[in-house]
Amino acid sequence: MPGKEAPQLLLVEDNALEADFLKQELAEQGYAVTWVEDGESALAALQENHPALVLLDIRLPRMDGIEVVRRIKAGRQSRFIPVIMVTALTEVEERVRGLDAGADDYITKPFQSFELLARIRSMLRLRRTYEELASTEAKLKKTREENRWLRQEIQGKYAFEQIVGRSPAIRDTFYLMEKAIESPVTVLILGETGTGKELVARSIHYNGARKGKPFVVQNCGALPESLLESELFGHKKGAFTGAVADKKGLFEVAHGGTIFLDEVGDTPPSLQVRLLRVLQEGEIRRLGEVHPQRVDVRVIAATNRDLQEEIKAGKFREDLYYRIQTFPIPLPPLRQRTGDVPLLVDHFLKKYNPRLEKQCLCRGDALSLLEQYPFPGNVRELENEIVRAMTLAGPTEEIEPRHLSEAVRKAGAGPTPAKNGCLQDQTGQLEKAMIVQALQENRGNRTRAAQKLGLSRRGLLNKIKRYDLE
């Protein structure tokens, strides 16, 4: 017997006495019934009530039941609604025509209530099957569409066109990237902070033979040694306090694909030995396990450090260095990419105008200031500068110098020349401005400021003292 949520039925019957009898019979079984007397009313009720099943008399005024069936089954939304035709014993030809028109079942007059109810239950089960199949098909179609879109999005996002620039320096990088794509060699990307090392790594992966496999990222300086070891190599349940379950490491996750080891120069010395074994033997061993397992992973590493200096200082293994620098790709800082700033500015405007619901432009004096600024934070700093300026500007306002940061405006204004126009004095003032900005961006942390400026800590301290910046 149907439950409280029983489906609604549409009864199409021109005989009021028969219709009233059927409504009572069906109501006693818990069904909600809508009754109409002709075909046109049936089609209207179909649109309004969306019944789960139609009980249809074949003999109707104006529009017969066969035409009603045909129209129901022709509808995109109604074609899965089961239709049971009600016919007389003598209407054999009409039954055949009705089934050909799309009716799902028929029942002949006179009939017993239990027979009608059994047919209704059977057709409702059939409808649920239709709906489940349609739902599964729709989900599969959506998944296929999402996967296709995702593949296009990934391949487009990390295509070379996303690394904007036409300067000779960046063209040299493009050439090396193309060679790296053609070969499975280990790649070491060298460049200052903010030059786009991860974007280059993703471009190599998603344009290469492994593009259908995982691309995983780990910043080697972002975690303590114990956590980094577990993250990279995984662990077995009970290997240490808190290891409540087996865990795959990123090398396992990346099997068949690529792992990007960002800031590899910050890897603790003890883990450098394990990285060396992966590169030499293609084997890893989870923490707490005895037997190693093989992995097929391409390694792309990146660093903003001078690894040869790190080797001299005893902080980086020489044998690991020669393993990861099989194919080095140097990324030029933005200050060396002559002519690329306007292209990057235009790229970021196109990227963020839709997101911020604006139509900003950047030309004239504002663009000149951006071209003159050395951008110690490189492309990332330029991107942040553009977003900040767009946030300050009106929806359709052109970016002006007043929208730019103080550091950009000061650098663009240039140092006040001495009376004799001494180049050394002007260079000193620009250097002082860059040091002030680096200290501000790193909240006074002199070690980080020195790294950003490409100086040793002692060298930065000497310049701070020289320019009286204590």
Taking only the tens place, the pLDDT of each residue in 413-450 is: 654 444 455 666 667 777 887 888 787 777 778 888 88
8 A C-beta contact, residue 421 and residue 274: no
Name residue 164's amino acid: V
How confident is the model over 28-53, as a mean pLDDT? 89
Question: Among candidates 249, 263, 191, which has minimal Cα distance to 220?
Answer: 263
Q: If you average pLDDT over each of 6-15, 131-140, 236-245, which comes out highest?
A: 6-15
Question: Quick one: what percent of the chain has pLDDT higher than 90?
Answer: 46
406-412: long-range contacts (C-beta < 8 A, 24 or more apart)? 407/373, 407/433, 407/437, 407/440, 408/369, 408/370, 408/373, 409/369, 411/369, 411/372, 411/373, 411/374, 412/368, 412/369, 412/370, 412/372, 412/373
How confident is the model over 187-195, as a mean pLDDT? 94
Q: What is the pLDDT of residue 212?
A: 87
How confident is the model over 299-315, as a mean pLDDT? 94
Residue 85: its H or E element: strand 83-88
8 A C-beta contact, residue 334 and residue 378: yes
Domains of the chain: 8-132 (3.40.50.2300), 161-332 (3.40.50.300), 342-466 (no CATH)
Please say if the pLDDT value at position 304 is more than 70.
Answer: yes
Please say if the pLDDT value at position 372 is more than 70.
Answer: yes
Higher pLDDT: 243 or 73? It is: 73
Confidence of residue 135 (pLDDT cuts 50, 70, 90): confident
pLDDT (tens digit, 9 = 90+) per residue, 388-418?
Answer: 999 999 999 999 999 999 999 887 665 444 4
Confidence of residue 150 (pLDDT cuts 50, 70, 90): low
Q: What is the pLDDT of residue 108?
A: 86
How confident is the model over 197-201, as a mean pLDDT? 94
Q: What is the pLDDT of residue 397?
A: 93
pTM, two decimal places? 0.58
Q: What is the pLDDT of residue 148?
A: 57
Neighbours of 227 (CB within 10 A): 10
Q: What is the pLDDT of residue 416?
A: 46
Please say if the pLDDT value at position 2 is more than 50.
Answer: no
CA distance 187 to 177: 10
pLDDT (tens digit, 9 = 90+) per residue, 333-354?
Answer: 998 898 899 999 999 999 999 9
